[in-house]
């Protein structure tokens, strides 16, 4: 089973006083926020839905005293785009939801089954996929993504498909969707959010952390149409990861097998720009088990 490991929802602040603070204020705030989303009017328009999600995200991040640095907001487009964003954890969604635009996220099907978060995602009309059955689900994904774009919203993909770390490679699915729907692509670099909430690797929750969201210039439709999706994926991941590792943003999450394990059976690849780790993962996969 290619399922996210560990408890669906768990919080473990670092210090005893933060544990008490979260138990008294943070967790009730989280539950109330998810309930607000899950019980919202199903007929909300895109702007109202985005505002509601932004309000919940701002409350939760404010409680955690998280500082989110935004860069490149002048690159936010007025028209609908396919967004591709780096991925470090669940806090990514809170950070991105603060952007002044309407976003609908593409997420793994099992996330929609999690307590509190799942009902909120469904009512906010985000898009569920099963990456391991991508061929079967592509038609439905295209239909949903097309509807989102036509409604004037952005559809958000995390092309790494995992929160293992910066070293994981992009998968071409988002780029194929953009090409088939003839949509421009908006790249967003996000780093540091893994320190806010490490889930699903651990329940560690931290107060007072810094993360960054950097909006890069969009890839226009004529380039999306003219460049092979796999090549566009490789080119853009190098560009985005160069920004993430530049030292100008908080340090991104790194994949450390001694800490994270190898996630056997879970679909991911290591970017060719990290050859030592890629070779190590390949050696592990080639080693007979049992």
Mean pLDDT of 177-194: 97
**271 vs 108, more confident:** 271
Q: Is residue 219 part of a domain?
A: yes
For residues 67 and 210, is the Cβ–Cβ distance under 8 A? yes
**Maximum distance among all alpha carbons in the chain?**
55
**What's the pLDDT band for 132 if we cut at 50, 70, 90?**
low
**What's the pLDDT band for 2 if we cut at 50, 70, 90?**
very low
Q: Is residue 269 part of a domain?
A: yes
What are the beta bridge partners of residue 107?
128
Residue 9: is its pLDDT beyond 80? Answer: no
What are the beta bridge partners of residue 270?
168
SS3 84: strand
Instruction: Enter the tokens of residue 207.
Output: 């107060």
Q: Is residue 6 part of a domain?
A: no
From CA 165, how far away is CA 169, in angstroms rounded?
9
Where in the sequence is the domain holding 211, given as residue range(s)? 12-286
Residue 98: is its pLDDT beyond 50? Answer: yes
Residue 80: is its pLDDT beyond 80? Answer: yes
Q: What is the pLDDT of residues 241-264, one digit of tens each?
A: 999 999 999 999 999 999 999 999
β-strands 103-108, 127-129 pairing: parallel
Q: Is residue 26 part of a domain?
A: yes
Provide the pLDDT for residue 130. Answer: 79
Mean pLDDT of 68-97: 97
Q: Is residue 7 part of a domain?
A: no
Percentage above 70 pLDDT, the chain:
94
The pTM is what?
0.94
Number of domains the chain is built from? 1
What are the beta bridge partners of residue 155?
82, 104
CA distances from 28 to 22, 38, 114, 150 (A): 8, 15, 17, 36
CA distances from 235 to 93, 156, 166, 219, 242 (A): 24, 19, 15, 11, 11
Provide the pLDDT for residue 138. Answer: 87
Residue 6: is its pLDDT beyond 60? Answer: no
Residue 5: is its pLDDT beyond 50? Answer: no
Q: What is the DSSP string of 108-176?
A: EGGGGGSTTHHHHHHHTT-EEE-GGGHHHHHHHHHHHHHHHHHTT-EEEE-TT-S-S-TTBPPPTHHHH
Mean pLDDT of 256-280: 94
Mean residue pLDDT across the chain: 92
**What's the pLDDT band for 288 if we cut at 50, 70, 90?**
confident
Q: What is the pLDDT of residues 152-183, one digit of tens each?
A: 999 999 999 899 999 999 999 999 999 999 99
Q: Is residue 116 part of a domain?
A: yes
Q: Is residue 2 part of a domain?
A: no
Q: Is residue 5 part of a domain?
A: no
Provide the pLDDT for residue 1. Answer: 34
Residue 4: is its pLDDT beyond 50? Answer: no
Domain harbouring 21, CATH code = 3.40.1130
DSSP H or E stretch at residue 234: helix 229-244
């Amino acid at each position: 089973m290619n399922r996210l490991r560990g408890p669906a929802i768990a919080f473990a602040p670092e210090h005893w006083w933060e544990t008490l603070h979260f138990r008294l204020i943070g967790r009730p705030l989280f539950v109330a926020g998810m309930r607000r989303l899950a019980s919202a009017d199903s007929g909300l328009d895109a702007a109202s839905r985005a505002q509601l999600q932004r309000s919940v995200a701002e409350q939760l991040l404010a409680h955690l005293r998280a500082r989110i640095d935004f860069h490149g907001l002048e690159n936010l487009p007025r028209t609908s785009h396919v967004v591709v964003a780096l991925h470090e954890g669940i806090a990514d969604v809170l950070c991105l939801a603060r952007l002044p635009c309407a976003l609908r996220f593409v997420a793994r099907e099992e996330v929609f089954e999690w307590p509190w978060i799942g009902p909120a995602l469904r009512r906010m009309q985000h898009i569920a996929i099963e990456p391991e059955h991508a061929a079967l689900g592509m038609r439905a994904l295209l239909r949903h993504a097309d509807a989102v774009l036509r409604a004037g919203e952005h559809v958000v993909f995390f092309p790494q498909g995992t929160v293992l770390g910066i070293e994981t490679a992009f998968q071409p699915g988002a780029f194929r969707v953009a090409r088939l729907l003839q949509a421009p692509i908006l790249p967003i670099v996000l780093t540091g959010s893994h320190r806010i909430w490490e889930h699903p690797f651990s329940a560690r929750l931290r107060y007072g952390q810094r993360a960054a969201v950097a909006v890069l210039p969009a890839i226009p439709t004529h380039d999306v149409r003219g460049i092979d999706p796999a090549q566009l994926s490789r080119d853009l991941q190098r560009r985005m990861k160069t920004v993430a590792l530049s030292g100008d943003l908080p340090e991104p999450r790194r994949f450390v097998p001694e800490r994270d394990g190898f996630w056997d059976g879970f679909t991911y690849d290591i970017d060719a720009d990290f050859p030592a780790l890629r070779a190590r993962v390949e050696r592990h996969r080639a080693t007979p088990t049992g």
